[in-house]
């Protein structure tokens, strides 16, 4: 494409913000959700995880379906299904039905996060594509930051029903606005055999490499924000560090206009490890530096999808791998940080961060070099 369709890019990004709010609307309102169902917070916390578990289980399947069904249709389906589930939740139904709606919402979320990146890549010019993919990479953090500002007013005005209803209505309105302008590609055969789908995606380094560069980031990011501020006795960092990372994530995408994505990702992991070592040495601003470099990684990871995969279907499959491996990191990171902190305190957390960052450096460098070598020569079998 010669020129970037910025209007379409902006609408897709709005869809990403609403997709991330599928997490935020429960995460940021857990006390109110617990009160609505007359249960302790610990008994409703699983409602947050249900969406991520669907991504962990079905990421590659979603990538395969999006590749066959078409990324545009998949994105629109995610908006409509997600909007419908939010409207169901606005009625505050019995907990079993609310839980079922969250599981279905996980499928809608997966459709959005799998179809969104290739859809944005297709709407951008070759020159703007790395920057556009860096923009997509900030959707989750940006949504949570906005939600933290908006939700208190909505809760005061109408409680959870208003919040859920507004979220659902916005998704449906966005689907209506995008209905005529989202490109529809021709359909292709779809395999629903999970073994076949996983073998196809994880047998190709070009599909797998973006996820391998992303998994250690998701392991570190949320868990580190959850534990490091309190461990350092600086609770204000919990709000500062995500904002720092948002800026550097955009920079990571922009840097991929000049450097290979895996080189930018490797620099991000190396800087993360060095920042953590600086923290161990008591250097000033070490934790901020750690998160500045960490922010380069998602920008580079999403920029690598179109860099190594030219066809929309291939990009959808690569995004399916990112969805699964990203959720693997998110699901495992916080529990392991909790166990490590309980066993060894701040020092143990620092060395865990260093170790995982070095593992990420190895993975992103190896996978990126292999994917770059195979990008012009078809799918490279890694077996």
| CB contact set of 31 (below 8 Å; sequence gap of 6+) | 41
pLDDT band at 382; cut points 50, 70, 90? very low
Helices (H) and strands (E) in the chain, counts: 14, 0
How many Å is the Cα radius of gyration of the chain?
20
Query: Mind listing the pLDDT tens digit for each residue in 115-125?
Result: 888 888 888 88
What are the pLDDT digits (tens) for 163-175? Answer: 999 999 999 999 9
What's the fold here for domain 191-383?
Growth Hormone; Chain: A; (1.20.1250)
- Please tell me which residue, 164 or 55, carries the higher pLDDT value: 164
- Bridge partners of 204, per DSSP, are 381
- pLDDT, residue 192, reads 67
Quick check: 158 pLDDT over 90? yes
Going by C-alpha positions, the residue among 209, 163, 174, 197 that lies closest to residue 28 is: 163
User: What is the pLDDT, as a whole number, of residue 378?
Assistant: 44
User: Directed axis angle between helix 71-90 and helix 46-69, to 10°?
Assistant: 150
* Lowest-confidence segment of 45-49, 65-69, 348-352 by average pLDDT: 65-69
As a three-state string, the secondary structure of 111-176 is: HHHHHHHHHHHHCCCCCCHHHHHHHHHCHHHHHHHHHHHHHHHHHHHHHHHHHHHHHHHHHHHHHH
What pLDDT score does 215 carry? Answer: 92
* Mean pLDDT of the 135-147 span: 85
Question: Model-level pTM?
Answer: 0.82
Give dist(CA 111, CA 77) in Å, integer. 7
pLDDT at 353 over 80: yes
**Residues 6 or more apart whose Cβ sits within 8 Å of residue 239:** none
Which of 278, 68, 32 lies closest to 164 in space, CA to CA?
32
Phi then psi for residue 217, to 5 deg, are: -65, -50
Neighbours of 157 (CB within 10 A): 10
If 0-12 CB within 10 Å is exposed, 13-18 middle and 19+ buried, where does residue 235 land? exposed
At 380 the pLDDT is 41
Give 206-245 pLDDT, tens digit per residue.
Answer: 999 999 989 999 899 888 887 888 888 888 887 788 888 8
Residues 6+ apart with CB under 8 A from 360: 213, 215, 216, 217, 220, 265, 269, 272, 297
Give CATH 1.20.1250.20 domain extents, the chain.
1-182, 191-383
Average pLDDT over residues 43-51: 81
Per-residue pLDDT band at 379 (split at 50, 70, 90) = very low
End-to-end Cα spacing for the chain: 35
| Tokens 């260093």, residue located | 354
Confidence at residue 29, expressed as pLDDT on a 0 to 100 scale: 87
- Report the distance separating Cα 203 and Cα 331, nearest Å: 24
Whole-number Å distance between alpha carbons of 373 and 381: 12
Q: What CATH number was assigned to the domain covering residues 1-182?
A: 1.20.1250.20
pLDDT band at 191; cut points 50, 70, 90: low
The model's confidence at residue 287, banded by pLDDT at 50, 70 and 90, is very high
């Amino acid at each position: 494409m010669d020129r970037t369709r910025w209007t379409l890019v902006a609408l897709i990004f709005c869809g990403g913000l609403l997709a991330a709010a599928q997490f935020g609307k429960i995460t940021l309102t857990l006390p109110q959700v617990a009160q609505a169902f007359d249960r302790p917070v610990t008994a409703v916390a699983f409602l947050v995880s249900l969406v991520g578990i669907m991504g962990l289980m079905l990421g590659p399947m979603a990538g395969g379906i999006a590749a066959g069904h078409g990324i545009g249709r998949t994105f629109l389906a995610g908006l409509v299904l997600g909007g419908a589930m939010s409207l169901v939740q606005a009625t505050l139904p019995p907990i079993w039905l609310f839980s079922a709606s969250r599981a279905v919402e996980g499928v809608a979320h997966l459709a959005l996060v799998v179809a969104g990146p290739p859809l944005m890549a297709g709407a951008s010019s070759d020159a703007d594509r790395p920057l556009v993919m860096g923009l997509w990479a900030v959707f989750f953090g940006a949504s949570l930051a906005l939600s933290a500002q908006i939700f208190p007013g909505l809760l005061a005005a109408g409680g959870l029903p208003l919040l859920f209803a507004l979220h659902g209505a916005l998704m449906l309105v966005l689907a209506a606005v995008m209905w005529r302008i989202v490109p529809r590609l021709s359909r292709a055969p779809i395999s629903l055999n999970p073994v076949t789908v996983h073998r196809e995606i994880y047998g190709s380094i070009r599909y797998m490499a973006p996820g391998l560069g992303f998994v250690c980031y998701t392991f570190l990011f949320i868990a580190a924000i959850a534990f490091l501020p309190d461990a350092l006795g600086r609770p204000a960092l919990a709000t500062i560090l995500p904002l720092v990372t948002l800026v550097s994530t955009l920079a990571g995408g922009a840097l991929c206009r000049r450097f290979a994505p895996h080189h930018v990702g490797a620099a991000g992991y190396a800087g993360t490890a060095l920042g953590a070592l600086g923290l161990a040495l008591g250097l000033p601003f070490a934790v901020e530096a750690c998160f500045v470099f960490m922010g380069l990684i998602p920008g580079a990871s999403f920029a690598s999808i179109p860099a190594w995969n030219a066809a929309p279907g291939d990009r959808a499959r690569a995004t399916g791998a990112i969805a699964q491996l990203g959720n693997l990191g998110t699901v495992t990171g916080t529990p392991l940080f909790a166990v490590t902190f309980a066993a060894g305190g701040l020092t143990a957390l620092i060395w865990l961060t260093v170790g995982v960052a070095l593992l990420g450096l190895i993975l992103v460098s190896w996978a990126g070099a292999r994917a770059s070598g195979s990008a012009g020569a078809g799918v490279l079998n890694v077996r």
